């Protein structure tokens, strides 16, 4: 058995997509029009036990049951949350939301930990954050007028954010500039649900249950899902950023408000005619029948969790900006500042909107035809 050290490999991966106008792909893989029906809870390890399985070089055999015949060999670099520890065998959740088994001795492991309480005494150097670049694989998310995919922009922004979090930084809070330094130390680990070092350079399909289970299993201090929006209702002079928070995970509303505040400030410098919803801000949507979070990722998550919808890729000017490294870094820097404020202070942003009942048709990508990347 190989023990995986997050400090050495925290840059491996990042997390997912489910926003208001673009939660599902614009293709036939959208099969439902409300909260998805995949079970909302999964068992996960106690602190100190194995939390995540990392597929080693050469891949690893997957089994339907312990001691059965192996039936599939997923690609090296994939990460699977651990559901059950049965000694020599570990039950895991694959990227396609299927429950499978692996031999403990064949894989690398990351241990579960207990989340810390954010605030002025928070130990940033011990923090663990999960980043979820929305969409991926068949699920491209929203499309820009020139044909660019939201999933690509989400991954690029998340990668910049990961790099910020994994190195020490200085922040000029007056200007918002983020520069390498020792004011804020690197986090202990940043896990990505899909990242540039994962199979297919991160362009892989992920189930919502998988995305949340990665955060729950490792015991993350925060889960941030990076997205971009489509089909604005209006245009306005300030960025039309929305950040959706989980009503079931304490602290999510504060995290959303701080990220929203920093994003509006950080993006405003690009001065354009911004797409926007009728009301923007830190928001929550709940199912109008159950009162639970409408979005499956937020409904499952245990850590303070948000879905960030930074810009409208359907707006031609914003689409062009989203393809530039300067904008991607500014987006990432703004989310970084919001995360730092959330973890190390007790501040709240300027506005947190009350949860609103929602019964719209956003769709959820089906994982019926999802394929776990195979070892070549």
115-151 pLDDT, tens per residue? Answer: 999 999 999 999 999 999 999 999 999 999 999 999 9
What are 322's two structure tokens? 């989203």
Instruction: Provide the pLDDT for residue 53.
Output: 97
Task: Give the DSSP H or E segment for 163.
Answer: helix 150-165
User: pLDDT tens digits for 60-104?
Assistant: 999 999 999 999 999 999 999 999 999 999 999 999 999 999 999
- pLDDT on residue 43: 59
Rounded CA separation 213/196 (Å): 20
Place 350 in a pLDDT band, splitting at 50, 70 and 90: confident
pTM of the shown model: 0.89
pLDDT at 365: 61
- Structural domains of the chain ordered from first start: 124-358 (3.40.630.40)
Give pLDDT, residue 363: 55
Question: Distance between CA 172 and CA 188 in Å, rounded?
Answer: 23
Q: What pLDDT sits at residue 42? A: 59
Question: How far, in Å, CA of 53 to CA of 19, rounded?
Answer: 28
Predicted local distance difference test score (pLDDT) of residue 47: 80
Q: Evaluate whether 63 touches 74 at the Cβ level (below 8 Å).
A: no
**pLDDT tops 90 at residue 1:** no
Percent of the chain having pLDDT more than 70? 87
pLDDT at 58: 96
Confidence of residue 34 (pLDDT cuts 50, 70, 90): very low
- CA-nearest of 223, 222, 220, 256 to 241 is 256
What would the mean pLDDT of 242-255 be, rounded to a whole number? 98
With pLDDT > 90 as the criterion, what percentage of the chain qualifies?
Answer: 82
Residue 359, pLDDT score: 81
**Is residue 338 predicted with pLDDT exceeding 80?**
yes
């Amino acid at each position: 058995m190989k023990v995986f050290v997050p400090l050495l490999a925290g840059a491996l991966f990042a997390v997912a997509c489910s926003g208001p106008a673009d939660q599902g792909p614009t293709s036939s893989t959208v099969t439902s029009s409300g909260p998805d029906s995949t079970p909302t809870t999964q068992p996960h390890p106690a602190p100190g036990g194995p939390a995540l399985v990392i597929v080693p070089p050469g891949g690893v055999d997957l089994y339907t049951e312990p001691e059965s015949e192996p039936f599939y060999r997923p690609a090296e670099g994939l990460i699977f949350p651990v559901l059950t520890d049965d000694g020599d065998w570990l039950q895991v959740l694959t990227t396609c939301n299927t429950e499978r088994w692996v031999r403990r001795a064949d894989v690398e492991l990351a241990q579960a930990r207990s989340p810390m309480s954010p605030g002025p005494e928070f130990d940033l150097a011990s923090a663990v954050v999960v980043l979820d670049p929305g969409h991926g694989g068949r699920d491209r998310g929203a499309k820009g007028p020139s044909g660019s995919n939201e999933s690509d922009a989400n991954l690029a922004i998340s990668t910049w954010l990961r790099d910020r979090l994994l190195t020490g930084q200085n922040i000029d809070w007056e200007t918002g500039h983020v520069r390498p330094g020792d004011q804020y130390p690197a986090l202990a680990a940043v896990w990505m649900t899909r990242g540039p070092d994962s199979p297919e350079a991160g362009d892989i399909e992920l189930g919502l249950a998988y995305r949340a289970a990665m955060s729950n299993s490792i015991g993350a201090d925060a889960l941030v899902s990076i997205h971009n929006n489509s089909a604005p209702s209006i245009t306005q002079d300030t960025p039309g950023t929305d950040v959706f928070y989980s009503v079931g995970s304490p602290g999510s509303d504060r995290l959303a408000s701080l990220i929203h505040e920093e994003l509006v400030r950080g993006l405003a410098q690009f001065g354009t005619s911004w797409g926007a919803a009728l009301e923007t801000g830190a928001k929550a949507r709940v199912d109008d029948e159950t009162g639970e979070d409408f979005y499956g990722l937020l409904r499952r998550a245990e850590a303070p969790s948000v879905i960030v919808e930074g810009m409208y890729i359907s707006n031609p000017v914003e689409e062009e900006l989203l393809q530039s490294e300067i904008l991607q870094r500014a987006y990432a820097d703004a989310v970084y500042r919001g995360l730092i404020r959330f973890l190390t202070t007790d501040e709240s942003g300027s506005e947190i909107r009350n949860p609103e009942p929602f019964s719209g048709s956003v769709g959820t990508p089906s994982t019926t035809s999802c394929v776990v990347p195979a070892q070549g």
